[in-house]
């Protein structure tokens, strides 16, 4: 019998109960957006000028060619040809991992809280998500994580640094987890979307563990979120499996050329990472003076504990009225007292701190 679903045909079973958050529209563009961990400083004008010269008719009329970017990334990562796959955002690399490795009825291990799409993809591909909680000081339960990597698990995916907690799992622990995953034929995916805000990386270990995949993004430190480009590096067999599930020519030609320019001008990233670290110091000092706690972070965002001064939902609303968007309130375990703020350069963080201060003293 044909299933019906309102006026349109019903989608496949797993999608019927799956909820997706709508993507933001133009209404948000007039705000200072400290809620999506985007770059908060314009790319340098000389760099934009360079990108402008990339657009030619040939670029637009041809299907994309990525050989030069692959070669540059392989050199940059120290891996052989065939060990990298470009994806339209690192999110697409996550989806490809679920698509290629997770079957209905199998298990996927994720941190909770973490990047929201991991549980969406687990549901979409019919997996049971095994969620590893954090303790009160936002350390993940590593014993439970180790104990959860057993037969039936196909994918363990860990954002490192994690989002929204900003926490890091140490390299030694990741190496141990990679070994455990290997023993039960599971992939360990380490999502380094926030590299190099944290310089810690496990990339070199892909040579040691054929089941290790490392994901990177051009959206965060590189500042190219609008171009939708990321990549995954892993053993070439694993990469071939991911290649099979991607849509054809899924990464666009302009993004490919712009990424090449970023890799050739590392100061565009390095200067921004330095500015964000200085901005974090400004925000921390100002917030602490207001009686707010800023959790340590290895990324370009931080959790602020605000409940001693204001209800988090109320604070988010007051900041919105003042033209600033931040993330919250959270429903995830342990996160209710916090809001998440994208970090930026010192002048922006000082301006945000002024607005935060006025929002805190507003009479309810």
Ligand X SMILES: Cc1ncc(COP(=O)(O)O)c(C=O)c1O
The only residue of 140, 230, 279, 329 in contact with ligand X, by rule CB under 6 A: 230
Q: CA-CA distance, 242 to 245, in Å (whole number)?
A: 6
Q: Where are the alpha helices (DSSP H) in the chain?
A: 13-16, 45-52, 57-61, 67-77, 90-101, 117-124, 142-148, 171-183, 236-245, 253-264, 267-289, 312-321, 346-361
Min dist. Cβ of residue 36 to ligand X (A): 7
**Span near ligand X by CB under 6 A; candidates 46-54, 88-96, 246-254, 284-292:** 88-96
Among 40, 148, 219, 241, binds ligand X (CB under 6 A): 219
Q: Which is nearer to ligand X, 37 or 148 (by Cβ)?
A: 37
- 294: its two tokens: 């800023």
Binding-site residue total for ligand X (CB under 6 A)?
A: 13
Nearer to ligand X, 278 or 298 (CB): 298
The least CB distance from residue 119 to ligand X, in Å, is 13
Residue 193 touching ligand X (CB under 6 A): yes
**Out of 102, 149, 178, 191, which residue is the one contacting ligand X (CB under 6 A)?**
191
Site string for ligand X, 114-153 (x = CB under 6 A): -x--------------------------------------
Residue closer to ligand X by CB (options 338, 353) is 338
> For residue 342, what are its two tokens?
């994208």
* Distant-in-sequence, close-in-space partners of 317: CB < 8 Å, separation ≥ 6: none
Among 35, 37, 79, 344, binds ligand X (CB under 6 A): 37
Kindly state the smallest distance separating residue 299's Cβ from ligand X, in Å: 8
Q: How far is the CB of 150 from ligand X (least distance, A)?
A: 25
Q: For residues 265 and 32, is the Cβ–Cβ distance under 8 A?
A: no
What DSSP string runs through 121-190?
Answer: HHHHTTPEEEEEEB-TTS-B-HHHHHHH--TTEEEEEEESS-TTT-----HHHHHHHHHHHHHTT-EEEE
State yes or no: residue 90 binds ligand X (CB under 6 A): yes
Give, as ranges, the residues between 255 and 294 that touch ligand X (CB under 6 A). Answer: none
Decide whether 221 or 359 has the Cβ nearer to ligand X: 221
Which one of 91, 107, 123, 280 is in contact with ligand X (CB under 6 A)?
Answer: 91
Nearer to ligand X, 91 or 280 (CB): 91
Is residue 40 a contact residue for ligand X (CB under 6 A)? Answer: no
- Report the C-alpha dihedral over residues 182, 183, 185, 189, rounded to 10 degrees: -30
Contacts of 226 (CB under 8 A, 6+ apart): none
Residue 10 DSSP class: P
Using CB atoms, what's the residue nearest to ligand X?
89
Coil, strand or helix: which one is 27?
helix
Eight-state DSSP code of residue 332: S
Per DSSP bridges, beta strands 84-87 and 8-9 are unpaired
Contact pick of 59, 142, 150, 225 for ligand X (by CB under 6 A): 225
For the CB of residue 227, give the shortest distance to ligand X in the complex, in Å. Answer: 9
From 140, 233, 152, 147, select the one nearest 186 (Cα to Cα): 152
Q: Applying CB under 6 A, which residues contact ligand X?
A: 37, 89-91, 115, 159, 163, 191, 193, 217, 219, 225, 230
């Amino acid at each position: 019998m044909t299933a019906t679903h309102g006026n349109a045909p019903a989608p496949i079973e797993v999608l019927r109960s799956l909820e997706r958050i709508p993507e933001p529209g133009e209404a948000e563009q007039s705000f200072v957006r400290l809620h999506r961990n985007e770059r908060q400083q314009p790319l340098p004008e000389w760099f934009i000028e360079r990108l402008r010269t990339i657009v030619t008719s040939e670029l637009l009329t041809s299907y994309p060619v990525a050989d030069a970017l692959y070669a540059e990334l392989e050199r940059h990562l120290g891996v052989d040809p065939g060990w990298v796959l470009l994806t339209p955002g690192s999110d697409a690399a996550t989806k490809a991992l679920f698509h290629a490795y997770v079957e209905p009825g199998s298990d996927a291990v994720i941190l909770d809280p973490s990047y929201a799409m991991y549980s969406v993809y687990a549901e979409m591909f019919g997996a049971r998500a095994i969620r590893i909680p954090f303790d009160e000081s936002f350390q993940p339960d590593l014993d439970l994580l180790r104990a959860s990597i057993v037969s039936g698990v196909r994918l363990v995916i860990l954002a490192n640094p994690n989002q929204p907690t900003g926490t890091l799992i140490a390299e030694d622990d990741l190496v141990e987890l990679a070994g455990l995953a290997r023993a039960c034929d599971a992939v360990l995916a380490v999502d380094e979307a926030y590299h190099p805000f944290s310089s810690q990386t496990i990339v070199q270990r892909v040579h040691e563990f054929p089941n290790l995949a490392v994901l990177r993004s051009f959206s965060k430190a590189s500042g190219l979120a609008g171009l939708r480009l990321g990549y995954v590096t892993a053993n070439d067999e694993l990469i071939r499996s991911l290649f099979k599930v991607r849509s054809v020519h899924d990464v666009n030609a302009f993004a490919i050329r712009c990424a090449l320019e970023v890799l050739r001008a590392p100061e565009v990233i390095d200067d921004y990472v330095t500015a964000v670290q200085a901005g974090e110091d400004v925000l921390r000092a100002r917030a602490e003076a207001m009686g707010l706690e800023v959790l340590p972070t290895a990324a370009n965002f931080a959790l602020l504990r605000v409940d001693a001064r204001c209800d988090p939902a109320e604070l988010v609303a007051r900041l919105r009225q003042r033209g600033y968007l931040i993330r919250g309130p959270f429903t995830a375990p342990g996160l209710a007292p916090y809001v998440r703020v994208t970090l930026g350069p010192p002048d922006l963080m000082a301006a945000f701190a002024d607005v935060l201060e006025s929002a805190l003293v507003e009479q309810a």
